[in-house]
Amino acid sequence: MSHDRLNNLMARGTAFLGCQVALMGGAMSWVSERHLVAAISNAGAFGVLACGAMTPELLDNEIRETKARTERPFGVNLITMHPQLSELIDVCARHGVGCIVLAGGLPPGGAIERIKAAGAKLVCFAPALSLAKRLIRSKVDALVIEGMEAGGHIGPVSTSVLAQEILPVVAGDIPVFVAGGIGRGEAIAGFLEMGAAGVQLGTRFVCATESVAHPNFKRAFLRASARDAVASVQHDARLPVIPVRALKNKGTELFTAKQREVVEHLDGQRLEMAEAQLQIEHYWAGALRRAVIDGDVEHGSVMAGQSVGMVTKEEPVAAIVAELMDQAAAALERRAA
Ligand SMILES: Cc1cc2nc3c(=O)[nH]c(=O)nc-3n(C[C@H](O)[C@H](O)[C@H](O)COP(=O)(O)O)c2cc1C
């Protein structure tokens, strides 16, 4: 089977990322650490380290350990709300990290300039066309558009709608990577044909042999189907809940009960609003670590995208990437015939 057409369609993305396959391994807190990230880059794709809540010292060490495992380029995902964002950018600069992915909202003042001064390319999430245009005006180097099928924190719009709204308008100006719900190569081929420079996948890599996720976490993925990966639900307008897609478990049930309890206390004036909101906000604190590292998949947060149903076995990253690329190439060949 010829991969020529696929390679042509990916050329812009691979040139941007400096790798062979225009596929970013979406950063996943606790999962995307040195082993998985190095394995993704070694497979010819582009690994992205998840900084999450790490301190600058921990990030420094993680980048060093990743570099010890791959000579290929990889990126670092930083969360905009991190109180030490500037210091984290400086750590990336010291290591010569070529690509920083900023997640968690629009970049705060000064962050773009600091990243540019560090010589790194900046990738941001664009949750709507208007924001994509604004980010392009702010001189970001590439965009990720991530639909609500994705695992982790999500927006309200599906990948297929975001792709149709955003790709035809901005893909000529800036490389755009499509994420959320991608489990097979046929979908990758489709988004590339629509003008995407590449794609970003998270859920498909959780059960990679090289992933350090706890065996219980991997087992939960292997058992789950698309309908088990549900978005968290807000029960009262006064108590905001940030939507997160995860496998439903005892923890999600208890979260519903917790919201009801807090609402009752609020209504009975036994709780101040600020304290009530804090209790909801803090409910999931540490919950992803509890599931990924400790293996408590009943009470922890088993963040997963709807493509979880297409995760059927534990296999090396290289096999996952090769299968996706073969599927994409075959799909393009069929369409050309
Ligand atoms: C367990 C898990 C943790 C995640 N953590 C992060 C994170 O820390 N930062 C981030 O930008 N995205 C995070 N994501 C989103 C991924 O980077 C990626 O965009 C998403 O998984 C793509 O959609 P998919 O899961 O349908 O492949 C996470 C996703 C999962 C499944």
Same domain, 94 and 15: yes
Cα–ligand 1 centroid distance for 150 (angstroms): 7
* 265 occurs within a structural domain: yes
Side-chain-side CA neighbours of 335 within 13 Å: the count stands at 12
Distance 261 CA to ligand 1 centre (A): 30
Number of domains observed in the structure of the chain: 2
Pairing state between β 198-201 and 99-103: unpaired
pLDDT value for 325: 98
My answer on whether 173 and 224 are in the same domain is: no
Same domain, 62 and 208: yes
What CATH number does residue 207 fall under? 3.20.20.70
Q: Are residues 139 and 270 in the same domain?
A: no
Query: Looking at residues 11-25, what average pLDDT do you find?
Result: 98
**Cα–Cα nearest to 3, from 267, 328, 280:** 328
| pLDDT tens digits, one per residue of 40-73 | 999 999 999 999 999 999 999 999 999 999 999 9
- Considering only CA atoms, which of 232, 234, 229, 282 is closest in space to residue 252? 232
Q: Is 184 exposed, middle or buried (0-12, 13-18, 19+ CB in 10 A)?
A: middle
Q: Do 46 and 36 form a contact (C-beta atoms < 8 A)?
A: no
The CA 152 to ligand 1 mean position distance, Å, reads: 5
Query: C-alpha distances in angstroms, 306 versus 16, 147, 243, 275?
Result: 28, 11, 14, 33
**What's the pLDDT at 109?**
84
What is the structure's pLDDT at 184?
98
273 shares a domain with 208: no
Verify that 83 and 229 share a domain, yes or no: no
Q: What is the pLDDT of residues 65-106, one digit of tens each?
A: 999 999 999 999 999 999 999 999 999 999 999 999 999 999
CA triple 305-133-156, angle to 5 deg: 30
Report which protein residue has its CA nearest ligand 1's atom 20.
202
Do 158 and 185 lie in a common domain?
yes
pLDDT of 2 = 82
Asked if the model's pLDDT at residue 169 lies above 90, the reply is yes
**Contact, 153 vs 242, CB < 8 A?**
yes
Domain identity same for 36 and 73: yes
pTM higher than the cut 0.95: yes
Taking the C-alpha atoms of residue 304 and residue 2, their distance in angstroms, rounded to an integer, is: 33
Whether 56 and 193 map to the same domain: the answer is yes
Q: Which residues span the domain enclosing 240?
A: 215-292
User: What's the distance, Cα to Cα, between the start and end of the chain in Å?
Assistant: 13
Q: Which two tokens stand for residue 130?
A: 């208007």
Quickly list H helices, the chain. 4-17, 34-42, 56-67, 85-94, 111-117, 129-137, 159-170, 185-193, 215-223, 250-267, 273-282, 287-292, 317-336
Residues with Cβ within 8 Å of 113's Cβ and at least 6 positions away in sequence, in order, are none
Atom of ligand 1 nearest to the CA of 183: 27
Q: Say if 301 falls within a structural domain.
A: no
- Measured distance CA(300)–CA(126) in Å, rounded: 29
Q: Which of 52, 46, 304, 40 is nearest to 181 (CA)?
A: 304
Does residue 172 carry a pLDDT above 80? Answer: yes
DSSP β-bridge partners for residue 247:
229
How many Å lie between the centroid of ligand 1 and the Cα of residue 151?
Answer: 5
| Arithmetic mean of pLDDT, 275-293 | 93
Asked whether the beta carbons of 305 and 151 are under 8 A apart, the reply is yes
Residues 317 and 331 in one domain: yes
Question: What residues have CB less than 8 Å from 304, skipping those under 6 apart?
Answer: 151, 203, 206, 220, 221, 224, 228, 229, 245, 246, 247
Among residues 188, 202, 185, which one has the least CA distance to residue 304? Answer: 202
- The average confidence (pLDDT) of the chain is 96
User: Is 68 within the bounds of a domain?
Assistant: yes
Classify residue 72: in a domain, yes or no. yes
What pLDDT is recorded for position 117?
95
Residue 336's pLDDT band (cuts 50, 70, 90): confident
The model's confidence at residue 141, banded by pLDDT at 50, 70 and 90, is very high
Whether ligand 1 lies within 6 angstroms of the CB of 307 is answered as yes
Q: Residue 268 burial (CB < 10 Å; 0-12/13-18/19+)?
A: exposed
Residue 146 CA, closest ligand 1 atom number: 19
Q: Is 47 in the pocket of ligand 1 (CB under 6 A)?
A: no
Say what the pLDDT of residue 285 is.
Answer: 84
